[in-house]
Structures are given as structure tokens and as C-alpha cells.
């Protein structure tokens, strides 16, 4: 079953079951770096997205 993943209420990707885990498919450029990355849970994917976006904001400042 596919799961939409949101960041701050905006859909940024989809988790697709693959090889006993979940593969992330990015739909927003800001998280494209995570495209194809495997995760064990939706919570793990959301944390990786949060960390990536936070890192980008800090870098831009």
C-alpha cells in the first residue's frame, strides 16, 4: 500500500513497499535527494525529510 508523506502539510513524496521495507519516491524538488532511499517506517522517512529541509534552511541562512 502506498503512503503519501507530507512536510508541514505539503505532500513531498510517496512511500512504496519494496523488499520488506519502504522506498521513498520524491514529488518535490526540495527532497529529491532522498528519492529511491529505503526506509523502515514512515516515521523514519519523515525524520529524514525534516533533517534535510532543516539542513537546507541552515545552509541558506
DSSP state at residue 11: E
Q: Is residue 27 within 8 Å of residue 11, measured between CB atoms?
A: yes
Domain extent, residue 36, equals 3-60
pLDDT of residue 61: 62
HSE at residue 35, side-chain half, CA atoms within 13 A, is 9
pLDDT of residue 58: 73
Dihedral of the CA atoms 60, 7, 43, 24 (nearest 10)?
-80
Model pTM? Answer: 0.87
Q: How many domains does the chain have?
A: 1
Q: What pLDDT, in 10s, does the model give residues 12-50?
A: 999 999 999 999 999 999 999 999 999 999 999 999 999
pLDDT of residue 56: 79
- Binning pLDDT at 50, 70 and 90, where does residue 1 land? confident
Q: Is residue 2 within 8 Å of residue 15, measured between CB atoms?
A: yes
More confident residue, 8 or 57: 8
Burial of 23 (0-12, 13-18, 19+ CB in 10 A): middle
Amino acid at each position: 500500500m502506498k503512503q503519501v508523506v507530507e512536510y508541514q502539510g505539503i505532500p513531498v513524496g510517496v512511500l512504496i513497499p519494496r523488499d520488506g521495507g519502504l522506498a521513498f519516491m520524491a514529488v518535490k524538488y526540495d527532497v529529491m535527494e532522498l528519492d529511491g532511499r529505503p526506509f523502515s517506517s514512515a516515521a523514519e522517512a519523515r525524520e529524514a525529510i525534516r533533517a534535510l529541509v532543516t539542513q537546507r534552511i541552515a545552509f541558506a541562512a
